[in-house]
Chains A and B, each alone.
Chain A
C-alpha cells in the first residue's frame, strides 16, 4: 500500500512522508531477513481454528423457523413470482406469461419514451429485440423480473435511509461506515447465511441482490439532499414551511436527478449480481452462464453475458435520460402523443396475449448460436496466438514481483507486519488512521486466517497498483480527449456489467490456474470504474485553470501533472478507493481460478459444511482488509478542508 500511496502522493504532497515510509519499508525488509518464518500464523486448507468450529456449530442457531423471516420470504417470493408471471413464466393456467414479448417490448419502449426521450425508446426496443434474437428471451425476462423486484425493494429501503442520512450528520457518518462494509463484504459470504434465513430460491436471491445493490442509492440520495443549495432551503424556511413541507416541496424535487443517478447505480449493481445469485437458484441469465461454465462453453457463456450487458446498457441509458429530463412539463402535443402511444401499447399487449407469434419470441433467427460460435472462435484464436507469450508474462510478474511481495507479507512475523502497517497509517493519518489500523490488524489475527489474508493482500496490492496505473492513464486520456471518451465509454460499460465468470475461461486458457490469473481478472473488473471516475474528475477541472496553465507555456505533461491531476485529486482519491473495493470484490472470484487464500476459503465455506465457520471468518478478513486499506488511502489523500479553514 505504500506503493499505492506514493504512486499518487509523491507529486501531490510534500515528499517528507514518502521518505519516512521508504525508511520504514527498508527497515521491514531488513527485519524480514532476520525474522522470516516465525510467528507467521499458518493454517492449512482443511484446517480450522476453535473459533471457526464454534461458528460452524452455531450456524443453525440463527434464522431457523423465525416467523419474521418466513413472512419476509413469503412476501418477497410473491413479488418475484408475480413479476415472473407477468413477464417470463407460463402463468394463470396459460402456457405463456401474462404479457408476451410484443407487449413487453412496446410497454418498455413506451416507458422509456415517457420518462426519457424517443432515442432511448428506440434503444430499448432494439435492445430487447436483440436479446430475443439471441434466443434468451425467457431467461432475460426472468433476470429482468428479479432485477425489478430487487431494485424496487432496494429503493424502498434505500431512499428513506438516504433521506435520513442526508438530513442528519450523525446518520450520515454511520451510514457511510456501514455502506463501506456492505460493499466490501464479498457476496459469497452472505449467500450461504442468507439461505439459512430465507431458504433457497428467489427470495434469498432477491435479498442478496438487495444487500449489494442498495448502498449506491442510499449514498446518492444522501448526497443529493446534502447538495441542495442552502439558499433554496432557507428560502423555504423563511416563508414558514414546516420540515415536512421543505422535504417534500424543496429537498426531494431538487434531489431528483442525483437520486436517479443512485437508482441507476442500484440497477447496475443488481445486474452485476445476476450470476452470483444464480448460485442459490436465482432464475435467469445467470443460470445460463453458470451452466455453460460447467462444460467450459465460452461461446454460450459469452452470449448470455452479452444479454446482461445489453439489458444493463438499455437500463442505464433510460435512467440517465430520465434523470436528465428538464423540469418542464410536457407540451400539449407530447401529451396527445403519449396518449396515442399508450393506446398502441395496450393494443400490443392484447396481441401478445392473444396470438402465439406475439407471445413467444420467434426462434427462426437464432443469433445466439452464431454469437456463441464467433466468441468461441475468437477465444481459441487468442489462445493460440498469445498462449506462449502470456505464460511468460505470468511467470515474470509472479517471480519478479508477486512472490517477493507475498514472501515479505507471509514470511514476516504477524506483529512485524502489523507494526509496519500501523506505523505507515500513523505517518499518513496520525491517530485517525492508526487506531483503525490497530483494530483491523488485531481482528485479522483473531479471524485465524492471518496467513491467507497476507497472501490475498499481496495479490490485492499488486492488482490495485495495476488498476490505478491503467485507470490513471486511460482516465486522463479520456478526460482530455472527447473522442477517446466516446469510444471508450461503451467498452467500459460492457466491462463493468459483463459477469466476470464469462471471461474466466479465456483467462484460464491464457494464464493457467494461478494467482496471476486472478489478478488479471480483478484488473479487468476494476479498471472501468477507475477510468470513469478519473475521466470525470479530469473533465471537471475548470477550463480557465487549464487555459491559464497552457498560456504560461506548460507542456501537455506539465498541464497533466501540475494542474489537472492535482486539481482532480479528490476524484483520483475516489478512483483509487473504488479501484481497491472492486479488486477486493473479485477476491472470491479469483479464488475460483487459482488465487487460493481468502477467496478459496470463502468459496469452500459456501460449499462445504465443515468449513462454514472458516469461510465466514475469511469473509470477515476480506472486509477487514478493505477497511484497513480504505482508511490508509483516505489518510494518504490530501485533505481538501485544509484550505477552507481560513474562511
Chain B
C-alpha cells in the first residue's frame, strides 16, 4: 500500500515541508530494506525474522502547508515519534527526502542542519526535556544562547515568549519547582523563543493530567491563532487530534493508513482499522451537514430553513428537530441536499455501534 493519498485543499507547490518516500529502519544493514522491494514488502514480524530489522517509518509521503496544524496520530509503536524526529534529522532517515522551502534536508551538512534547527524548526517534547540545572528563563533562552545571541537580546526575547505562554513571574524558578503543565509551558516557550517557521510537537501533553491537558490544548490553539506557526503535532489521542488538526495522518506499524481532515476520518474511514479507531468519537461533534445530507424526496416541500454544509451536526440538531420540514443544505446558492429528523438522530442517538458510513454529497471520487 502506498501512502500517496490525495487531498483537495493543498497543492504541492504550496507545501512548506514535503516528505517523500521516507523510511526509517533500525537494525543491522538497515539500508537494504527500502532498496529491495521484496524486503520492503514484508510486514513487521516477517521483516524482523528475516533481517533483524524493524521499520519504524515505512515509505511515507505527505506535504505540510504553511500555517497548517498537521497531526500525526497512531498508537504507541506506530512510528510517529520516530517520524517527527526524522523531520529535523534528530534521527537520521534511512531513505527518502525532506524538502523544506525547496531544499532537501537529507543532503544538508551538519552546519547547515544546525543553522536550520537554530532558526526554522523547534520541538516540544513529551517529557519536556528541560534542563534541571537552569532557571526557567535560562531554559527558554537556551536556543538563543547556542546560536550566539547577546545576553540582553536573549533576556528580552525570552521574556516576550514567557509572557506569551503565561509564565510571567516564574522566570527565576527551576523546572523542578513547577507543575507538569507549567513545565510544558516552559518547553513551549523555549520552542517559540527562536521564532521558528515550523513547530514540532512530540506528544506534548500525554504526560499531563486531563484538565491541564485540555488547558494546554486550548493554549496551543490560541498560540496558533496568534503567531500562526506551521505545526506538526504527534499524538495518540484522537480527541486531541480532531480538536487541533487541520489534517490528520493516521499511522500503523510505520505506514500511513489514512490522511485527511477529521471529518473525513470519521465520516469515511479507509478501512476497518480506522473505523475501529474512530468508533467512540461523538460524531455530532465532528461531522458536518455535508456528510449527512440526502437528496430531497420527490414529495418533500423545500421551504425549510437553510444551513451551510460546514455546520457541525451538533450545532444543527436543535434547528432540524424543531423544524417540521427538512432543513436545506445550501452552498453558494446551490442546494446540496436536505436533512430530516432521522438523519440527525442517526448521528446523535447511535454514535457507537453504527456501521453506517456516510458519504458526503460533494466528496470527490478517488
Contacts and interface: CB of A to CB of B under 8 A. Distances in A.
A435 interface: no
A237 B90 contact: yes
Contacts of A236: 131, 142, 146
Nearest to A242: B114
A254 B121 contact: no
A239 B127 contact: no
B27 interface: no
Contacts of A231: 125-129
A599 B142 CA distance: 56
B194 interface: yes
A109 to B, nearest CB: 27
Given A234-B90, A235-B190, A327-B174, A240 B143 contact: yes
Nearest to A238: B123
A245 B127 CA distance: 21
Contacts of B126: 231
A539 interface: no
Contacts of B119: 240
Contacts of A253: 131, 133-134
B128 A256 contact: no
B117 interface: yes
Contacts of A234: 85, 90, 123, 125, 129
Nearest to A250: B131
Nearest to B200: A238
Interface in B45-91: 77, 85, 88, 90
A328 B190 contact: no
Interface string B124-146: 01111111111000000011011
B85 A232 contact: no
A647 interface: yes
Interface in A243-258: 245, 249-250, 253-254, 256
Given A249-B131, A253-B133, A327-B174, A240 B114 contact: yes
Interface size class of A (residues with CB under 8 A): 20 to 34
B18 interface: no
B122 interface: yes
Given A231-B125, A234-B125, A328-B174, A239 B142 contact: yes
A239 B129 contact: no
A187 B240 CA distance: 63
Nearest to B120: A240
Interface in A317-339: 326-328
A232 B90 contact: no
Chain A at the B interface: mostly helix, strand, loop or mixed?
Answer: helix
A239 B90 contact: no
B146 A242 contact: yes
B39 interface: no
B125 A245 contact: no
Given A245-B146, A249-B142, A239 B130 contact: no
Scoring A231, A235, A245, A253 by chain B CB atoms within 10 A of each residue's CB, the highest score goes to: A235
Contact of B129 (A232, A249, A327, A328): A232
Nearest to A239: B143
Interface string B167-202: 000000010100000000001001000100000100
A231 B127 CA distance: 7
Nearest to B187: A235
Given A240-B118, A249-B131, A256-B133, A235 B125 contact: yes
Nearest to A647: B77
B318 interface: no
Contacts of A256: 133
Given A229-B127, A234-B125, A327-B174, A239 B146 contact: yes
A250 B131 CA distance: 7
B115 interface: yes
A241 interface: yes
Contacts of A647: 77
B147 interface: yes
A625 to B, nearest CB: 36
Given A234-B90, A239-B190, A327 B147 contact: no
B117 A239 contact: yes
Contacts of B128: 231
Interface string A212-236: 0000000000000000010110111
Contact of B88 (A232, A238, A242, A328): A238
A240 B117 CA distance: 5
Interface in B87-131: 88, 90, 114-119, 121-123, 125-131
B194 A238 contact: no
Contacts of B142: 236, 239, 249
Contacts of A241: 114, 146
Interface string B160-172: 0000000000000
A254 B115 contact: no
B325 to A, nearest CB: 57
Scoring B119, B121, B122, B125 by chain A CB atoms within 10 A of each residue's CB, the highest score goes to: B125
Given A240-B114, A240-B147, A254 B131 contact: yes
Nearest to A327: B133
A245 B131 CA distance: 13
A238 B146 CA distance: 11
B129 A235 contact: yes
Contacts of B77: 647
B132 A327 contact: yes
Contacts of A238: 88, 90, 117, 121-123, 200
Given A239-B118, A239-B194, A240-B115, A254 B133 contact: yes
Nearest to A233: B129
Contacts of B133: 253-254, 256, 327
B159 to A, nearest CB: 18
A441 to B, nearest CB: 33
A237 B117 contact: yes
A256 to B, nearest CB: 7
Nearest to B145: A249
Contacts of B174: 326-328
B139 to A, nearest CB: 9
Contacts of B131: 232, 235-236, 249-250, 253-254
A328 B114 CA distance: 31
Given A238-B122, A239-B143, A245-B146, 20 more contacts: A232-B130, A234-B123, A238-B121, A238-B200, A239-B117, A239-B118, A239-B122, A239-B142, A239-B146, A239-B194, A240-B117, A240-B143, A240-B147, A241-B146, A242-B114, A249-B146, A253-B134, A327-B132, A327-B176, A647-B77
The 10 A-B pairs with the shortest beta carbon distances in the complex, nearest first, are A240-B118, A231-B129, A235-B129, A240-B117, A239-B143, A238-B123, A253-B133, A241-B146, A240-B114, A231-B125
15 contacts: A231-B128, A235-B130, A237-B117, A239-B190, A239-B194, A240-B116, A240-B117, A240-B119, A249-B131, A249-B142, A253-B133, A253-B134, A326-B176, A327-B174, A328-B174
Interface of B: 77, 85, 88, 90, 114-119, 121-123, 125-134, 142-143, 145-147, 174, 176, 187, 190, 194, 200
